[in-house]
Each structure stands twice: as C-alpha cells, then as structure tokens.
Amino acid sequence: MLNVALPKGRLGEKVYAMFEKAGFECPSIKENNRKLIFENEEVGVRYFWVKPSDVAIYVERGAADIGVAGKDILLEYTPEVYELLDLNIGKCRMAVAGKKDFRYDMTRTLRVATKFKNIASSHYLSKGMDIDIIHLNGSIEIAPILDLSDVIVDIVETGTTLKENNLEVIEEIVPISARFIANKTSYKFKAEAINRIVNQMALEQAEAK
C-alpha cells in the first residue's frame, strides 16, 4: 500500500487528478464528505488530506510514503525527504513587500513580518542586513499598514492581496511551485511504484507542453 499525503484545497485537487491520470485512482475521494482518508485496495493506494504546510512532516516521518509540498515549505523547514519532481503547478513567488514609498534605512534594524522566518533570515543575511523578525501566522499584509513591521516576506501569487492593501513587491526572493516528495526509507523499499508515478507525471508534463 502506497500512502500519499495530499495538500487539502484547490492545489490538492489538481494533484489528485495527476495521480489519477498516472493510474492511481481512488473514486471514493470525490464523495462530498468530511472524511480525510481514502483508500483503493485494488490499486494499492491510500490518500489522506492534510494541511498543505504539514505534508512534509507526514512524509519526513514516514506516515506518508510520498506527498506534494510547496517549495516554500521545503525551503523553510528543510525536511529530510527526497524532492523528486517539480510539478510546475501552484506557481507563485516568495517576495519582500512593503508600502509603496518604502526605502531601506540602513541606520535602523529592519522589522520583517513573516510566516517564513528562515527564508527571511537567510535572505537578509545574504545582504548583510540586521533584521528583527516578527513571526505571524497569516494576514501578513496587515503588518506594514499598522506599522507592526517595515516589510513582509510572503508568498505572492496573483498580487491581488498586495494591491488591495496598497503594498508592492520590493524584491523577489525565489520562485515557488509544488514538488513531489518521498520519504527516504519508502523510496528504498517502494522505489518501483514511486518511480512509476514520478515518470508518468513527468511524461504528462512533457506532453502538456
């Protein structure tokens, strides 16, 4: 049985469709209910819906053999997993954003609000800048507006959230997309099944181009 952690939400539905196409269908997953685990014994697959930011934890600890996680989470938490394929979906970018008239003031410690403190720290470390990290769990865009921070480090997808809050991108840090990840031990023992899925997904991608 192959255990697959899927990120709950719109991205997860796209990801499931890719698994289905690769031959790992599980029709019960489309039932409209609040169940979180779905299994198709015939094909040998069990899916579970988890919070997108938790997928890597399930995979790292072996509760899931494989899963799909955003590159943002992989960069932030550096889990011990194999990153096998860039699925080229869930594309966005990690960026520094601030108020429209924002300019760096090198005489003061920069206050940075973010969910991604490691990404933010290493970005500013590479610029040799001293920062004060303010760790928030969501609605990061509010921080500069209320002068809780000078800038934010956050994910920008369409840019709508920034625009509607009168903020703009100051610097792009790194492009983000969804990655196929595998538990290191599972990859040893279930290599054939895992490679079959990865290869099939890579093929689908190439055909779609």
**Which region among 20-28, 35-43, 72-80, 159-167 touches ligand PRP (by CB under 6 A)?**
159-167
Which strand ranges, in their side-by-side order, compose the sheet holding 151-156? 131-135, 110-114, 151-156, 92-99, 167-176
Cα torsion at 87, 93, 152, 104 (round to 10°)? 150
The least distance separating ligand PRP from the CB of residue 97, rounded to whole angstroms, comes to: 9
Contact between 156 and ligand PRP per CB under 6 A: yes
- Tell me the CA end-to-end span of the chain in Å, nearest whole number: 32
The binder of ligand PRP chosen from 103, 158, 192, 207 (CB under 6 A): 158
Q: How far is the CB of 138 from ligand PRP (least distance, A)?
A: 3
Query: At its nearest, how many Å lie between ligand PRP and the CB of residue 69?
Result: 14
172 binds ligand PRP (CB under 6 A): no
Structure tokens at 126: 């590479």
Amino acid, res. 145: I
* Interaction residues for ligand PRP, span 90-149 (CB under 6 A): 138-141
Helix (H) or strand (E) holding 59: helix 55-60
Instruction: Examine residue 160 and tell whether it contacts ligand PRP (CB under 6 A).
Output: yes
Instruction: Give me the residues that bind ligand PRP (CB under 6 A), please.
Output: 138-141, 154-161
